[in-house]
Structure 1
Amino acid sequence: MKSLFNGTLLEADAVHILPADRGFTLGDGLFETIRIRAGRMQRLTAHLSRLVRGAQVLDIAMPAYNLASALEDLRAANELENGVLRLTLTRGPGPRGVLPPSEPEPTLLITAAPMPPRPLPARLIVASATRRNEFSPLSGIKSLNYLDNILARQEAARLGADDALLLNTQGHIAESSIANIFAVMEGRLVTPPVSDGALPGVMRAALLGQGAREKTLTPDDLMAAEELFLTSSLGIRPVATLGKRSFTHFTVAEHLAIRLGEA
Structure 2
Amino acid sequence: MSVVWLNGRLLPAAEARIDPADRGFTLGDGLFETLRVAGGAARHLDRHLARLADGAALLGLPFPHGAAALAAAAEALIAAQGQGDGFADGVLRITLTRGTGARGVLPPPDAVPTLLMALAPAPPPAGPVEAVIARTTRRNEHSPLSRVKSLNYLDSILARQEAATRGAGEALLLNSAGRLAESSVANLFIVRDGRLLTPPVAEGALPGIRRALILERGDAGEAPLSVADLLGAEEAFLTNSLGLRPLLRVDGRAIGAGTVGAVTAALLTDIEAE
For the superposition of Structure 1 and Structure 2, which TM-score range results when normalised by the shorter chain? over 0.9
Q: CA RMSD in A?
A: 1.1
Deviation of 1:250 (Å): 2.9
* DSSP-derived class of the 2:211 partner: helix
Q: Which consecutive unaligned segments of at least 5 residues does structure 2 have?
A: none
Equivalences for 1:184-199 in 2 at 5 Å?
184-199=191-206
Q: Which runs of 4+ in 1 moved over 4 A?
A: none
Aligned equivalent of 1:132, options 139, 147, 155: 139
Aligned equivalent of 2:78, options 69, 75, 80: 75
Aligned to 2:94: 87
Aligned to 1:256: 267
When normalised by structure 1's length, the TM-score is: 0.97
Task: Tell which deviates more after alignment, 10-19 or 187-196.
Answer: 10-19
Aligned to 1:25: 26
Aligned to 1:213: 221
Equivalences for 1:95-244 in 2 at 5 Å?
95-210=102-217, 211-244=219-252
Deviation of 1:64 (Å): 2.3
Contact map agreement 1:130 1:152 (CA 8 A) in 2 = yes
Contact map agreement 1:226 1:249 (CA 8 A) in 2 = no
Letter of the 2:172 counterpart: L
Deviation of 1:44 (Å): 1.2
CA distance in 2, matches of 1:28, 1:251: 42
* DSSP-derived class of the 2:100 partner: coil
Letter of the 1:253 counterpart: T
- Partner deviation per Cα, 1:17-63 (whole Å, 9 max, x = no partner): 11100000000000000111112221111111100110000011111
CA distance in 1, matches of 2:162, 2:182: 15
CA distance in 2, matches of 1:96, 1:262: 49
* DSSP-derived class of the 2:206 partner: coil
Deviation of 1:262 (Å): 5.2
Q: Which consecutive unaligned segments of at least 5 residues does structure 1 have?
A: none
Contact map agreement 2:236 2:246 (CA 8 A) in 1 = yes
Aligned to 2:47: 46
CA distance in 2, matches of 1:244, 1:123: 8
CA distance in 1, matches of 2:155, 2:45: 27
